[in-house]
Amino acid sequence: MIDFGALEQVRENIENARVRSGFDSESPVEIIAVTKTFPANAIISAYNAGIFSIGENRVQEAVEKFPHLPVLPKLIRRLIGHLQSNKIRTVVNIFDAIDAIDTLKLGRKVSRFGVDRGKSIPVLLQVNTSGDSKKYGFDPIEIDKMLALVEEPGLRIEGLFTLGRFTEDKAVIRKTFRDLRKLKESLNEQISRVSRDIQLFQLSMGMTSDYEIAVEEGATMVRLGTVLFGKRGKQHRYDPSVS
């Protein structure tokens, strides 16, 4: 279950990072509890601690886990992993938001499902600002493709998401996050020329190892798992029989 002492320290670290960077006048940073591999009780524990967004990246695990949850009125279930086209229907039915639209083609497919259901699906666009060939995401120069999705019906593009580069070089990690913030600002500038009603406002970046750097660079969402629930391993492999 969630480590309440660790959560208190995380919240303090986030506020200190906001003050250091001058972002303390902005909206509070939202913590997304990454509950993959953990049982439904972990989600309930996070919810009771005041965390109302959870992240899962395995669709089949979520299908098995979510029915074990009680009614949690404020809970937002976010898909944070790579989305395969053949699982879009399932994802749209059980998740509240999709945080990893990484191509124009995938975004348009999700858009059609939103249109069919008469709703706008909240999504984040994943951008590969680290330049890591092993990571999914739009190339930062693919601005036209990202802008095209902003105009798609059935989608509500709330912002951008990236993963920091896996390195101990904090300057490199920081640049990954700073580049995403600058990209958001650039996209919003172009969007404002054609619409006053649409703006990207979320920057989802930063995990257990680098969330303070991400907050210093303007993150509005951070994804935290290990620091809240402990290290994952074979003992934490998801078991649907445990609720």
Query: What pLDDT does residue 102 have?
Result: 96
Give 12's contacts (C-beta < 8 A, 6+ positions apart).
Answer: none
Q: How far apart are CA 32 and CA 161, in angstroms?
A: 13
Fold of 4-236: TIM Barrel (3.20.20)
| CB distance 187 to 147 below 8 Å | yes
**pLDDT score for 196:** 66
- List the pLDDT tens digit at each of the 243 positions of the chain: 898 999 999 999 999 999 999 887 788 999 999 999 999 999 999 999 999 999 999 999 999 999 999 999 999 999 998 999 999 999 999 999 999 899 999 999 999 999 999 999 999 999 999 888 888 999 999 999 999 999 899 999 999 999 988 888 999 999 999 999 999 999 999 998 876 678 899 999 999 999 999 999 999 999 999 999 988 754 444 554 444
Q: Do 158 and 201 form a contact (C-beta atoms < 8 A)?
A: yes
Q: How far apart are CA 176 and CA 50, in angstroms?
A: 29
Give the Cα separation of 207 and 99 in Å (integer): 14
